Amino acid sequence: MVLDAYERLVVVSNRTPTGIEGGATRSEGQRTAGGLVSALYPALQKRGGLWFGWSGRATRRQAHAPPHLVRHGGIQFATIDLSEEEINDFYAGFCNRALWPLFHCFPSRVRLRREEYRAYRRVNRTFATQLFPLLKAGDAVWVHDYHLIPLGTELRRLGWKGRLGFFLHTPFPPVDILTILPFASQLLADLNAYEVLGFHTQRYRQNCVDALCSELGGTFDGQAYHSEGGAVRCGVYAIGTDPTTFARWAMSTQAEMQSKRLRRSVRGRRIVLGVDRLDYTKGIPERLLAFERLLERYPAWQRRVSLIQISAPSRTRVPEYIEQKREVDRLVGAINGRFSEEDWVPIRYLYRTYSQEELAAFYREADVCIVTPLRDGMNLVAKEYVASQTADPGVLVLSRFCGAAEELREAVIVNPYDVDGMADDLKRALEMPLAERQERWQALIKRVCAVTAQTWCEQFLADLTSAP
């Protein structure tokens, strides 16, 4: 039994839900949650343990004060503040202007600065020095995402000998893209500090193993990477959602009232729904153009359908995100200006954050959910939408370039770069007969219920605790 194999689970991630439960305000936490927090939080709530990360706040102090400790339910949160400079260089800089575009295969957006890389390593060292005194023998330490790749090395340097695993929530790029980064070999070497490395899909794991073998030497036996430094297990663990909770939220009286209001507000027209953080990897402009193309090529759909695009503000101090917002604002204005009638606005654009419970009501009512990232590690919106459908299910339109497409094969799979093709697929989704919708959804919901946040967590921890 996994839970008996270690005494306490210690999760480390840059972002924690303390904004939701503790230190900062509720809206801050919700605004920035993202897939990592929404999957880990329920899983950790069931097990209890320690969650360590950045508080989301800036401090003026140069030296780091000890972590803020907040207990909520069975979880002990320990968070540290970062200085303005660290937030700029580590988070907004190296993490989100170098690693993020690189891992999502946008090499032309990668911006390299030596001082930002130094800040990245420094902040990882700070995380390790602040976390190490809180660790106890018997803990299993699970590190999350690209912000913290060197954390394992730093913890080992301080003397941590216990279990140590790492999960990457983004794609892992092919070696030719990864090695654009002058520090690629160093980051690959950092991966050797862990006993288990986890990825969402076979392809990401393969890319990582190829990079390890070609840049550092060593071999892969199908399960573990072997080098002079020892063996590191490399596994595939698809992240999921909590389908039972989403189904409950979607069926609640509150969701029913919210859905009715929504349907009335579009005057009974069909609803296409998009839900994303406002990020250039999400393909929002391409989706807006596809919707415009639908109205242009199939005028019978004018006045009969509305696109509701929910975009949660994200990384608002990073210039590429400011630019993306401008572009989305411009496109929404142009398309609405071109097609709106006195009693119909084709695109409703909601630049704000909704709670997951509120989103369930949108999912329930949407005839089509359009999830079309240009590249995405997994994408939980796709799974949440499926979980929120019932007897008269809507249609999921899904990009082939997100991790979820490896599992959710009964969705309408599209190429988000092909705007004309997406317009045709949208039409097909809007016109799909009930029997086909039901058949697809039944296959999809089985998959969504088989791979959940809980199974993801259990399988990773089972491998971490059984690793030699």
Pick from 79, 309, 314, 388 the residue near ligand F6P by CB under 6 A: 314
Quick check: 32 binds ligand F6P (CB under 6 A)? Answer: yes
Pick from 19, 29, 35, 403 the residue near ligand F6P by CB under 6 A: 35
Pick from 145, 276, 365, 463 the residue near ligand F6P by CB under 6 A: 145
Choose among 79, 65, 82: nearest CA to 22.
79
Sequence-separated (6 or more) residues with CB below 8 Å from residue 354: 310, 312, 362
Q: Are 425 and 193 in contact (CB under 8 A)?
A: no
Alpha helices in 14-161 (DSSP H): 18-21, 26-32, 34-47, 84-86, 100-103, 114-131, 151-158
Closest contact distance (angstroms) between CB of 79 and ligand F6P is: 13
Continuous segment of H or E residues that includes residue 334: helix 319-339
Q: Are 50 and 8 in contact (CB under 8 A)?
A: yes
376 among known catalytic residues: yes
Length of the chain: 468
The site map against ligand F6P for 159-178 (x = CB under 6 A) is ----------xx--------
State the residue for tokens 């097909």: 428
Q: How far is CA 93 from CA 109, 111, 186, in A?
A: 12, 8, 18
Quick check: 143 binds ligand F6P (CB under 6 A)? Answer: no
Closest contact distance (angstroms) between CB of 313 and ligand F6P is: 9
The site map against ligand F6P for 100-139 (x = CB under 6 A) is ----------------------------------------
Sequence-separated (6 or more) residues with CB below 8 Å from residue 95: 14, 120, 146, 147
Site size toward ligand F6P, by CB under 6 A:
11
Pick from 9, 10, 12, 15 the residue near ligand F6P by CB under 6 A: 15
- Part of the chain binding ligand F6P (CB under 6 A), chosen from 31-39, 364-372, 407-415, 442-450: 31-39
Of 38 and 214, the one with the shorter C-beta distance to ligand F6P is: 38
Continuous segment of H or E residues that includes residue 404: helix 404-407
The site map against ligand F6P for 180-219 (x = CB under 6 A) is ----------------------------------------
- Indicate which residue of 144, 169, 276, 279 is catalytic: 169
Quick check: 399 binds ligand F6P (CB under 6 A)? Answer: no
- Indicate which residue of 139, 190, 276, 376 is catalytic: 376
Closest contact distance (angstroms) between CB of 61 and ligand F6P is: 22
Residue nearest to ligand F6P (CB): 34
Q: Are 136 and 162 in contact (CB under 8 A)?
A: no
Closest contact distance (angstroms) between CB of 411 and ligand F6P is: 20
144 among known catalytic residues: no
Quick check: 37 binds ligand F6P (CB under 6 A)? Answer: yes
Torsion angle, alpha carbons of 86, 146, 50, 127, to 10 = -30
Of 135 and 239, the one with the shorter C-beta distance to ligand F6P is: 239
Quick check: 36 binds ligand F6P (CB under 6 A)? Answer: yes
Distance of CA 399 to the CA centre of its chain: 15
* Whole-angstrom distance, CA of residue 363 vs CA of residue 272: 10
Q: Are 319 and 327 in contact (CB under 8 A)?
A: no
Q: Which residues bind ligand F6P (CB under 6 A)?
A: 15, 32, 34-37, 145, 169-170, 314-315
Show which residues are catalytic: 169, 376
